[in-house]
Amino acid sequence: MAAQQHGMVEKRGVGIWFTHAFMILGVLIIFFPIWLAFVASTVTQADIVSPPMPVVPGDQFWVNYKAALFSGVNVPVATMLFNSLVMAIGIAVGKIIISLLSAFAIVYFKFPGRTTFFWLIFLTLMLPVEVRIVPTFEVVAGFGMLNSYYGLIFPLIASATATFLFRQFFLTIPDELAEAARVDGARPMRFFIDIVVPMSRTNIAALFVILFIYGWNQYLWPLLITTDPEMNTIVMGIKQMFPSGDDFAHWPTIMATSILAMIPPVIVVVSMQKLFVRGLVDSEK
């Protein structure tokens, strides 16, 4: 049906092949940097330092990836991957939990100071960590949280976006459900756990995808607070692999690390594409 409607307007035949050709060209251009990084991660340093480097993969895949994962430059990349995973999951799960709780309180209770709290949370929308780095760094240092997972996670956890998203969603839950729960004598937390959370699971999943990427891709904050290489995250650790001074960077290791750094978020985005698109639209609008 849709195809027929479409057919009324669009030319078929040659036109459609041109359209595909344009699209493929676009995809190739967009993909080129990733492809080149992959190729560089499968050849030797000698192949790269005498330009032009090859544009098809070589046979050093296992050698380079093993070297990166288990030795790295300052610290094994496996360690950095683990740190990134803890940080990304910590931020995603932490944000979702505190936002679910506070949105539930704001929507389902009338308590003194409710409006004030609502606006306080709203204001945090306006304060990206990049803007308040120096004082936030001092706070975290004061708590002794430098080089710790707490320090990586907590300052990035409080955000109004998730709270607003859940608030909007809770407002659409039929009042009859809360009423029935009250008539049955269910406590608020029972209602929260048995009804509200299960009904929100699609929103939770969509938000998880977005927040995981957000946490994984953080750069400035880990750069400031993880002075110990053992605590580096992979995204900030790549830059640390470049030698200072005039030496050649070891490109195969660096590019293997770059590929490893993009695999987890790419898997999350591609495998949960529908949720991801939905999460994007929900969290931005």
Partner 1 sequence: MEKRVTFRGWLLPLALIAPQVIISAVFFFYPAGQAVWQSLFIPDPFGLSSQFVGLGNFEFLLSDKYYRASFVTTAVFSTLVTLCSMIPALFLAVIADRLIKGSGVYRTLLIWPYAVAPAVAGVLWLFMFNTRVGVVAWYLSQLGYDWNHVLNDTEAMGLVVVASAWGRISYNFLFFFAALQSVPRSVIEAAAIDGAHFWRRFFTIVLPLLSPTAFFLLVVNVVYAFFETFGVIHTITGGGPQQATTILVYKVFSDGFVGQDLGSSSAQSVILLIVVGLLTVIQFKYVEKRVHY
119 binds partner 1 (CB under 8 A): no
- CA–CA dist 10, 211 (Å, integer): 39
178 binds partner 1 (CB under 8 A): yes
- CA–CA dist 143, 163 (Å, integer): 26
Among 66, 74, 82, 138, binds partner 1 (CB under 8 A): 138
Q: Which residues make Cβ contacts (< 8 Å) with residue 220, sequence separation at least 6? A: 129, 130, 133
- How far CA 117 is from CA of 23, 64, 101, 129, 160, in Å, comes to 49, 52, 13, 21, 11
Nearest-approach distance from CB 275 to partner 1, in angstroms: 12
Nearest-approach distance from CB 259 to partner 1, in angstroms: 9
Indicate the residue among 120 and 230 with the shorter CB distance to partner 1.
120
Nearest-approach distance from CB 81 to partner 1, in angstroms: 13
Nearest-approach distance from CB 179 to partner 1, in angstroms: 5
Print the binding letters for residues 222-261 with partner 1: x by CB under 8 A, - otherwise.
-xx----------xx-xx--------x--x--xx--x--x
Within positions 40 to 99, which residues make up the interface with partner 1, using CB under 8 A? 40, 48-49, 51-53, 55, 97-99
199 binds partner 1 (CB under 8 A): no
CA 237 to chain centre: 17
- CA–CA dist 169, 199 (Å, integer): 9
203 binds partner 1 (CB under 8 A): no
Question: Cis before residue 52, ω within 30 degrees of 0?
Answer: yes
Query: Tokens in use for 78?
Result: 């496996």
